[in-house]
Structure 1
């Protein structure tokens, strides 16, 4: 662990809301080490050679080609980046695992899903929860691509409510086996996996239990047909049926009844990795869209010259930049927290579990924001292509379809929105994040007389940073009042929680963009960051508009009379610009920069 990591204060998960973050303390893509840059380039080269060059094969349900590409990825070590060296992996840090997931996932959702299901929820549960014997037996095979993994949690009656599964595990009379019986559905990689992580209930236990189950058709395992899906056509997705499948007792994963915890922690990792998996897809779609816009002639001019197209290109680039900024900021926080725990004597296994769990709020924020940015980007990319975008002969059509699943798996975006707010409130109640003090201060500020002095915004992005500070007050005002009014019953008011979550999400994404730009402008000069400054300002402007809408929606849903009037006045005060940015000029500047390069180059 570096001295820098030891010496700097690392904010706990959710504390970004109540503590100021200095730009020097955020990690950006521009901070990658030489080793990480080489890893990124080798991953991009693999994606271009094996995936992008054959994108049409993935649309023809060529499951064999998905499996072939997975084996090639294994040969290159791309499946083993997060696996400790002790188990024949590369043992690289969390940021490096995010990088590989990011740049290997941009071409096709089919391969991205196979890769994520194997390296994440197929391998990591054993790495993080397995016994030493289990890890020695299975992890090297999974790391090399000799074996592939799949994750069996979802059932016909158990989706978002993961612990409600009906699959049973019954101990044999001789005590040597558990006999598993049940049905699992939507199982990625089922058609070619060698190993399942299966969750089942023992007797009438309150919580499910995890098991490592080798895929042997002779052992009561049968597969349904490949599912017919809107997108990710070459991702093998089947139902899996277990009929008295014998699983040795030594293949129980962790302790009895610990399955729900395993599932939730696996999803935390999966959520931030899903955000990473949506990033390069945005870059590639944007690059294809701007190339087309530069070449497509209408009314005797390239369509990139039209303001309507510039607005789309600018928003696509801005969202990609914000997603990168926030994802790698959180990834480095997780990596540093893991390092600190290891320095305190925790095992790597425990350190990684607790490190990721610490930032579960940020993981949910990123999953929602970046998956929705991807959906918007593919939709606008298809629109820029016009009729050609609707044709299956161009990659826009498949990108649009593939993007849709990202808002559903790893927990729906609705679930993740409520989780982000719910986890933050629980952290506050445990004293891990002080929300009460700042929320009380905001309430007192609302009762006071506002200052009419004109602030000094002479420093770069100083008005934007001041505005972000005030946006945090909006969340504290809304959430503080809601918690005070509803207490533990808050979770029953889902529409209120969804609105609060949107405020929280936009704050984190906007702040991450501004801090990244400020950091790079300080070390490289403002001139080098002109477009990034414009993107940071544009994202913040859009975030403010969202927060005004969601803040008003939340306030009038539970506050009345003087309280409502006071909070609406506060919302107006906290979201007010001193100097409004010229949004049209910002979009034009961003689009012109992207058009000149003919691709997205800000990573």
Structure 2
């Protein structure tokens, strides 16, 4: 396994790091207070090509492999997670389906504008009665002439208020269960498409999640993504592909927390010595460092496997599980070492702690990842 980065990726990684540290970090508290990512930051992100990480060069993207993307996601994860999520959801589940399963016509129609950040992508699977149990979808799609008519409600859809292009799962044949689900590319301007209530969340300020309401929504037949009846399989592929990237974003946040915590422990004096000198504190920091390095190795191993075209269903689920659990452990220890300051909203530790919690839920809960892992192990040992 070779995780070395090309000179081009190293150059881009440095540019992203500088941008994150000087521009995004400078407005992190503003994002938290206003629940909005400044337009200037979005425009600068477009100029850096950050919206096109997952899109091939033929469609105006950067065409970066998974190892390279993880290197950039790691830098992006080191700042406000609302901003991280805007970029990550677009370049991950928001565009990957079209890149991997779209027809040439669909790719040429949608990807260039998405790569430039002119149009934002979102992924709509979850429903009020179908979250982890994705095969229980109620959103229906009935073919009428040269269109499908979709009816139903999606919720907790990341980027819903900003997005222009949605990958939506709906039931085309209710008698076939998982094999009766089809995926569609839906534009926000399509008749019958509405963005509903915006959810108030514990964290991820600046990243907005909302309902998607489909009322006799008209979708042209040419906007079926992949084959009819393959929507559930498509959803699993899209989610699995994004798990290395999500882990890399978690890794960036963990490294940031480790840096902040180790620095604070050297500066904070108690009993006439820096608290780093107290064994209870130093052990927590040591545990954080072990978790960070373990996550780093695992992330790039799975990313390398993806680039090699290897099957990563089990490994991607393991990584999603491990990465989210590590982020929560590291964030918890960061609060503990910082003490009262770690609990105060004027400091970033409290924000990271709240933002970490969703990583064990979205894009497949920790429990669902265990189910996937166990299912793959059962096949291996049968």
Provide TM-score, normalisation by structure 1: 0.61
2:197 match: secondary structure:
coil
Counterpart of 2:210 in structure 1 is 238
* Equivalent runs, 1:396-475 vs 2, <5 Å: 396-429=349-382
Counterpart of 1:251 in structure 2 is 223
Instruction: Give the Å deviation of 1:375.
Output: 0.6
2:167 paired with 1:168: no
2:153 match: secondary structure:
strand
Change (3 A) 1:169 1:68: farther
Confirm or deny: 8 A CA contact 1:71 1:146 kept in the other structure. Answer: no
2:261 paired with 1:289: yes
Gap runs ≥5 in structure 2: none
2:10 match: secondary structure:
helix
Q: Which has the higher strand share?
A: 2
Confirm or deny: 8 A CA contact 1:272 1:364 kept in the other structure. Answer: no
Change (3 A) 1:271 1:233: same
Q: In structure 1, how many angstroms separate the alpha carbons of the residues matched to 2:131 and 2:327?
A: 23
Instruction: Give the Å deviation of 1:86.
Output: 1.3
Confirm or deny: 8 A CA contact 2:37 2:83 kept in the other structure. Answer: no
Counterpart of 1:195 (choices 165, 171, 179) is 165
Counterpart of 1:40 in structure 2 is 13
Q: Which runs of 4+ in 1 moved over 4 A?
A: none
Q: Deviation digits for residues 33-56 of structure 1, max 9, x if unmatched?
A: 322221221121121123212111
Confirm or deny: 8 A CA contact 1:27 1:328 kept in the other structure. Answer: no
Q: In structure 2, how many angstroms separate the alpha carbons of the residues matched to 1:204 and 1:322?
A: 43
Q: In structure 1, how many angstroms separate the alpha carbons of the residues matched to 2:37 and 2:255?
A: 27
Q: In structure 2, how many angstroms separate the alpha carbons of the residues matched to 1:113 and 1:275?
A: 12
Instruction: Give the Å deviation of 1:212.
Output: 0.6
Q: Deviation digits for residues 474-532 of structure 1, max 9, x if unmatched?
A: xxxxxxxxxxxxxxxxxxxxxxxxxxxxxxxxxxxxxxxxxxxxxxxxxxxxxxxxxxx
Counterpart of 1:367 (choices 320, 323, 334) is 320
Q: Please provide the CA RMSD for this pair.
A: 1.5
Q: Deviation digits for residues 390-420 of structure 1, max 9, x if unmatched?
A: 1001000000000000011121111101211
Change (3 A) 1:91 1:404: same
Instruction: Give the Å deviation of 1:68.
Output: 5.0
Q: Which has the higher helix share?
A: 1
Counterpart of 2:298 (choices 326, 333, 336) is 326
Counterpart of 1:219 (choices 191, 200, 206) is 191
Change (3 A) 1:68 1:153: farther
* Equivalent runs, 1:385-396 vs 2, <5 Å: 385-396=338-349
Counterpart of 2:174 (choices 194, 204, 210) is 204
Counterpart of 1:82 in structure 2 is 54
Confirm or deny: 8 A CA contact 1:50 1:69 kept in the other structure. Answer: yes
Instruction: Give the Å deviation of 1:27.
Output: 3.2
1:386 match: secondary structure:
helix
Confirm or deny: 8 A CA contact 1:51 1:108 kept in the other structure. Answer: yes
Q: In structure 2, how many angstroms separate the alpha carbons of the residues matched to 1:242 and 1:394?
A: 41
Radius of gyration: which is bigger? Answer: 1
Counterpart of 1:128 in structure 2 is 100
Instruction: Give the Å deviation of 1:225.
Output: 2.7
Counterpart of 1:562 in structure 2 is none
Q: Deviation digits for residues 426-485 of structure 1, max 9, x if unmatched?
A: 2454xxxxxxxxxxxxxxxxxxxxxxxxxxxxxxxxxxxxxxxxxxxxxxxxxxxxxxxx
Instruction: Give the Å deviation of 1:334.
Output: 2.1
Counterpart of 1:180 in structure 2 is 150
Gap runs ≥5 in structure 1: 1-25, 339-354, 430-603
1:265 match: secondary structure:
helix
Q: In structure 1, how many angstroms separate the alpha carbons of the residues matched to 2:88 and 2:175?
A: 30
Counterpart of 2:80 in structure 1 is 108
Instruction: Give the Å deviation of 1:252.
Output: 0.8
Q: In structure 2, how many angstroms separate the alpha carbons of the residues matched to 1:292 and 1:163?
A: 47
Provide TM-score, normalisation by structure 2: 0.95
Q: In structure 2, how many angstroms separate the alpha carbons of the residues matched to 1:205 and 1:123?
A: 29
Counterpart of 2:26 in structure 1 is 53
1:185 match: secondary structure:
strand
Confirm or deny: 8 A CA contact 2:67 2:303 kept in the other structure. Answer: yes
